[in-house]
Amino acid sequence: MAGHEKNLEIGLLLDFYGELLSDGRRRAAELYYNEDLSLAEIAEEVGITRQGVRDNVSKAKSQLTELEEKLGLAAKFRAIEDTLGDIIPRLEVLSSSADDKTRAELCDIIEKAKTITI
């Protein structure tokens, strides 16, 4: 996985499990992965050493990865998004050739499915 993809993955894990981290680890990881700040910039902003930031980011990453390995919520979320990404267009095609009653029902299902995705 490329560096950018790893950062996106950790960003997603932060969305799912960030509240389970200590405040310091969560803040450092958010600034590093989501705001793309350097360790020095984060150190200045939060008032700790660069090494302290590195430790917080590293421990946060380990903790997030461990949580995902145990719980798998992000993987399940991606699977749901992929499935909906396949189902919704197929329902839209079906609704275009359906009678009025069926079209209305399919449109309702499509709208409900779209509320599940981000």
pLDDT tens track for 20-33: 999 999 999 999 99
What are the pLDDT digits (tens) for 72-116? 999 999 999 999 999 999 999 999 999 999 999 999 999 999 998
Q: How far apart are CA 44 and CA 27, in angstroms?
A: 13
Question: What pLDDT sits at residue 7?
Answer: 83
| 95 and 65 within one domain | no
pLDDT number for residue 49: 97
High-pLDDT (> 70) share of the chain, % = 93
Same domain, 61 and 10: yes
Q: Which residues contact 67 (CB under 8 A, 6 or more apart)?
A: 13, 16, 17, 20
Report the domain count for the chain: 2
This prediction has a pTM of 0.78
Give the CA angle between residues 12, 14, 42 to the nearest 5°: 115
Which residue segment(s) compose the domain that 89 sits in? 76-116
Q: Which pLDDT score, from 0 to 100, does residue 65 have?
A: 97
